[in-house]
């Protein structure tokens, strides 16, 4: 290993206590390197002809919630009335219209659509019908393979669940987080255990091709016993797909605010080692009843049926238009994020400006690294994919990094495929910064 090659173990301290900061890596290069100046180049890019091959997706952000969870690090609004919400939705449509008319996007048909938040299910059925009708009129859903919709169980009723299915949603993602009402309550979550069971029943009878359940390992007051009970209830429910996150405590969460007030450096949640053990336990219990682990965060009941069009397209460099406050986009190799405050976002759109606050035009090398680290989250990286797409031999390019992972018994090459062990998969986000370019090492993720 040469001097400029970062050591995996040094790059990300494997501190076992959960302290404040971001753990989960969702993009590359780090946001810290995005800037307001680059945003102006976006207008030029939008005027260029559309690429014929690159898949396109649309993300619509709904930033409204019933209450703010103590672990939430998103900008959410819990006090908006119907006319304020309508004004926001109108702005989102106007933003999408701007993209749909631009030469770079015009005529392209999205292959996936994603409603995220916040809480998309906070919207009423008439609001949802109008929103999706207007979206379909701008960018046809004729070629859409997957429509994902995030839902908070307590915001659903039977009629709303049926209506969401009728809009064309194929994948309903229920933000369960924990099956215990006390744990939900002390973590500031709005829903309770009985609402989970009801919502799941309605979703099954509505006939969604896929129902996903989100859980968080390591909520405040989580115990071994409660986690085992969570896994038991999860298996009893039998969703098509399970997503489990390990609790992180970024600086803009209620948990961190309280830590600061109390002068605490360590968050009142389980250690990273315990959280990994909990996710590992859940994965092995799910495997015993036939699920397959498909990434560091997901297990699916039937891999032949359960596809992740959104995730796989993004992790293979698809274009994504993200509409709404603070939304992230990636088109033509340029990352950008919208204004993070709702008033500023709406004002910018209403005055016919792109509401972008920061952006970064990536180099081919940065795009390769981005895809490489995102695909590592699947637990396997195919060298042939990268030589075909980037004309780069990743075996040679990242030789010291692969060697270190092999030396630590965390992974090995199997022919053209680099395969991570389960242990590596459970800590995959800590292994990724070693693949970053030197100038991006140690960047703070915000």
Using CB under 6 A, pick the residue from 58, 62, 76, 269 that binds ligand SF4.
Answer: 76
> Which residues lie below 8 Å from residue 425, measured CB to CB, with a gap of 6+?
293, 295, 296, 379
Looking at the DSSP assignment, which residues form a beta bridge with residue 147?
A: 113
Closest CA to 267 of 115, 436, 73: 73
Q: Which is nearer to ligand SF4, 21 or 209 (CB)?
A: 21
**Touching ligand SF4, residues 164-183 (CB under 6 A):** 175
Closest CA to 61 of 297, 313, 445, 320: 320
**Touching ligand SF4, residues 148-167 (CB under 6 A):** 152
Q: Shortest gap between Cβ of 189 and ligand SF4 (angstroms)?
A: 7
Of the listed pieces 68-76, 91-99, 267-275, 373-381, which binds ligand SF4 according to CB under 6 A? 68-76
Q: How far apart are CA 109 and CA 318, in angstroms?
A: 13
Decide if residue 118 touches ligand SF4 (CB under 6 A).
yes
Using CB under 6 A, pick the residue from 69, 105, 139, 359 that binds ligand SF4.
Answer: 69
Q: Shortest gap between Cβ of 242 and ligand SF4 (angstroms)?
A: 17
Q: How far is CA 281 from the centre of its chain?
A: 23
Q: Which is nearer to ligand SF4, 214 or 404 (CB)?
A: 214
Closest CA to 114 of 79, 82, 139, 90: 139
Q: How far apart are CA 76 and CA 62, in angstroms?
A: 9
Decide if residue 72 touches ligand SF4 (CB under 6 A).
yes
Instruction: Tell me if 226 sits within 8 A of 255, measured CB to CB.
Output: no
Cite the DSSP H helix spans in 238-308: 254-261, 272-288
Of the listed pieces 71-79, 179-187, 203-211, 365-373, which binds ligand SF4 according to CB under 6 A? 71-79
Q: Shortest gap between Cβ of 196 and ligand SF4 (angstroms)?
A: 14
Using CB under 6 A, pick the residue from 117, 153, 322, 355 that binds ligand SF4.
Answer: 117
Closest CA to 358 of 141, 85, 41: 41
Q: How far apart are CA 242 and CA 335, in angstroms?
A: 28
Q: Shortest gap between Cβ of 382 and ligand SF4 (angstroms)?
A: 34
Using CB under 6 A, pick the residue from 23, 74, 115, 297 that binds ligand SF4.
Answer: 74
Q: Which residue in the shown chain puts its C-beta closest to ligand SF4?
A: 72
Of the listed pieces 115-123, 200-208, 291-299, 431-439, which binds ligand SF4 according to CB under 6 A? 115-123
Count other C-beta atoms under 10 Å from residue 37's C-beta. Answer: 9
Using CB under 6 A, pick the residue from 65, 172, 300, 320 that binds ligand SF4.
Answer: 65
> Which residues lie below 8 Å from residue 393, measured CB to CB, with a gap of 6+?
383, 386, 387
Strand, coil or helix: what is 132? Answer: helix
Pull the structure tokens for residue 444. 């703070």
Of the listed pieces 67-75, 156-164, 272-280, 322-330, which binds ligand SF4 according to CB under 6 A? 67-75
Q: Which is nearer to ligand SF4, 74 or 200 (CB)?
A: 74
List of residues contacting ligand SF4 (CB under 6 A): 65, 68-69, 72, 74, 76, 117-119, 152, 175
């Amino acid at each position: 290993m040469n001097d400029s090659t970062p050591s995996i173990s040094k790059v990300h301290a494997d501190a076992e206590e959960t302290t404040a900061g971001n753990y989960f890596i969702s993009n590359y290069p780090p946001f810290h390197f995005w800037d307001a100046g680059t945003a102006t180049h976006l207008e030029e890019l939008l005027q260029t002809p559309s690429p014929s091959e690159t898949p396109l997706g649309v993300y619509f952000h709904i930033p409204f919630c019933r209450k703010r969870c103590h672990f939430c690090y998103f900008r959410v609004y819990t006090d908006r009335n119907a006319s304020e919400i309508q004004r926001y939705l109108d702005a989102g449509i106007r933003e999408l219209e701007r993209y749909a008319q631009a030469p770079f996007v015009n005529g392209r048909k999205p292959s996936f659509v994603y409603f995220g938040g916040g809480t998309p299910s906070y919207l009423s059925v008439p609001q949802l019908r109008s929103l999706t009708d207007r979206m379909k009129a701008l960018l046809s859903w004729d070629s859409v393979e997957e429509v994902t919709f995030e839902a908070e169980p307590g915001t659903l009723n039977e009629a709303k669940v049926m209506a969401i299915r009728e809009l064309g949603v194929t994948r309903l993602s229920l933000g369960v987080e924990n099956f215990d009402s006390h744990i939900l309550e002390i973590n500031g979550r709005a829903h309770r255990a009985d609402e989970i069971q009801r919502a799941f029943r309605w979703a099954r009878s509505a006939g969604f091709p896929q129902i996903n359940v989100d859980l968080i390992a390591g909520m405040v007051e989580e115990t071994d016993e409660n986690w085992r009970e969570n896994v038991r209830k999860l298996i009893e429910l039998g969703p098509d797909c399970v997503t489990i996150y390990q609790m992180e405590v970024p600086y803009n969460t209620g948990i961190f605010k309280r830590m600061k007030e109390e002068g605490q450096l360590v968050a009142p949640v389980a250690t990273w080692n315990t959280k990994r053990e909990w996710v590992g336990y859940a994965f092995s219990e799910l495997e015993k009843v036939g699920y397959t682990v498909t990434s560091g965060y997901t297990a699916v009941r039937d891999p032949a049926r359960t596809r992740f069009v959104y995730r796989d397209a993004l992790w293979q460099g698809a274009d994504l238009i993200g509409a709404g406050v603070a939304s992230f986009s990636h088109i033509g190799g340029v990352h950008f994020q919208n204004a993070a405050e709702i008033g500023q976002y709406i004002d910018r759109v209403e005055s016919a400006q792109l509401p972008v606050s920061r952006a970064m035009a990536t180099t081919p090398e940065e795009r390769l690294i981005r895809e490489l680290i995102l695909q590592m989250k699947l637990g396997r990286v195919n060298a042939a994919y990268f030589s075909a797409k980037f004309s780069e031999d990743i075996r040679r390019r990242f030789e010291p990094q692969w060697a270190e992972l092999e030396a630590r018994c965390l992974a090995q090459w199997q022919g053209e495929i680099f395969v991570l062990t389960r242990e590596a998969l459970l800590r995959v986000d800590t292994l990724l910064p070693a693949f970053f370019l030197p100038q991006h090492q140690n960047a703070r993720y915000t």
